[in-house]
Structure 1
């Protein structure tokens, strides 16, 4: 798959003096702030400081804080989905692939990244209470994650690495709740061993 071209935004600081910035890098910086503080807890001042951009530049590129958040969310979801696909890979049993998928969330739920939190869980879920469109987007994101987990469970049932009598949909939903819960608990400061122990125990329920 071809890599997307590097995006830049050209903004006028003064007549004849355009200012360019790397949109992807700017969005990644905004993502960190939104993930840590939530949408409503993040101010424009927080964003200008983190992104090293003038307030006017942010408004010109993204219209408002909500526009910036939605752009950051779109990039965050696409980036995370691609990383997860690579972690899962194509080798091994369904159980092995599921274990790798859950390990991806273990890695994201401890240390500095764990304390920062998940943009979907922290920010998008917060916004969904006030926006019907955002509520649909969050539900769709969770549905996609659940569908992927269910595919891995069914793959494991087909190759015999996961018990055939298990309800694949219920198992996938359990794993979805587990992974999202890990992202929340991870904000309180947990070790990798803490999170891995939870995953290991959950997997025994489907073997």
Structure 2
């Protein structure tokens, strides 16, 4: 049978119902939902506001997501996927353990400036608004913090091994402190802190490695 014949029905990928948004459409929609949730918070963001921002018709929205919480959790996962990839790319440019830590601090500092800073961090927002009452949100925040802390600790140990970080630095405890500093930058950015403030914090935090 000629599958290119005009009379032949178009073939659909198996398992994807008619009308369900494609994967790339979902990712684009989630990127827009992230902005709404970051700026407004979970409770203040309405379904109508999300639908408008995401550019999906009501039918397509509910075929892709069960409810607002499902949109939020998918947005959180997408946020972490994108931010983790960007961070890993930046860290990979580092020449040694110390430089990689500095690049990580500057990555957070940059995200804490300007419009991105005022929009806020979805992880910080979730931790303060939802983690105490929602187990799914709390677990995502926990995993995010654990991953970041483990990454920082591994970079600290790398720096000690290559001689760029003092041997007397305690990797587990210093990793916790640096994570708090990074998350604190995002909180300060939400308040519209002065331009350059976060970068000064990043430079000062490096003294912990001496």
Q: Does 1:179 align with 2:182?
A: yes
Are 1:160 and 2:163 matched, yes or no? Answer: yes
Q: Which residue of 1 aligns with 2:44?
A: 41
Structure 1 runs (4+) greater than 4 angstroms displaced: 9-12, 18-21
- Distance in 2 (CA, whole Å) between partners of 1:163 and 1:198 is 20
Counterpart selection for 1:145 from 144, 148, 154? 148
In structure 1, runs of 5+ residues without a counterpart are 1-8, 13-17
Contact 2:33 2:75 in 1 (8 A): yes
Counterpart of 2:89 (choices 86, 89, 92) is: 86
Residue 134 of structure 1 aligns with which residue? 137
The Cα shift of 1:124 comes to 5.1
Equivalent-residue separation in structure 1 for 2:43 and 2:158 (angstroms): 41
Shift of 1:153: 0.8
Counterpart selection for 2:31 from 10, 24, 28? 28
> Post-superposition shift, 1:130?
1.4
Is 2:73 the partner of 1:70?
Answer: yes
Shift of 1:60: 2.3
Match of 2:12 in 1: none
| 2:21–2:64 CA contact under 8 A, matched in 1 | no
Aligned CA distance change for structure 1 residues 118 and 11 (closer, same or farther; 3 Å): farther
Larger radius of gyration: 2
Q: Give the total of aligned pairs.
A: 194
Q: Is the 8 A contact 2:126 2:141 kept in 1?
A: no
Q: Return the match for 2:61 from 37, 58, 62.
A: 58
Per-residue CA distance 1:45-96 (angstroms, 9 max, x = gap)? 2112211223343222101000011111111111111111100015411100
- What TM-score comes out, normalization by structure 1 length? 0.87
TM-score by length of 2: 0.86
On the 8 A contact 1:10/1:19 being kept in 2, the answer is no
1:2-36, Cα deviation, whole Å (9 max, x unpaired): xxxxxxx8764xxxxx8767111100000000011
Q: Give 1:187 shift.
A: 0.8
Tell me if structure 2 keeps the 8 A contact 1:94–1:157.
Answer: yes
Q: Which residue of 2 aligns with 1:203?
A: 206
Contact between 2:30 and 2:74, CA under 8 Å: does it hold in 1? yes
Which 5+ residue runs of structure 2 have no aligned equivalent? Answer: 1-15
Counterpart of 1:103 in structure 2 is 106
Contact conserved, 2:117 with 2:189, CA < 8 A, in 1?
yes
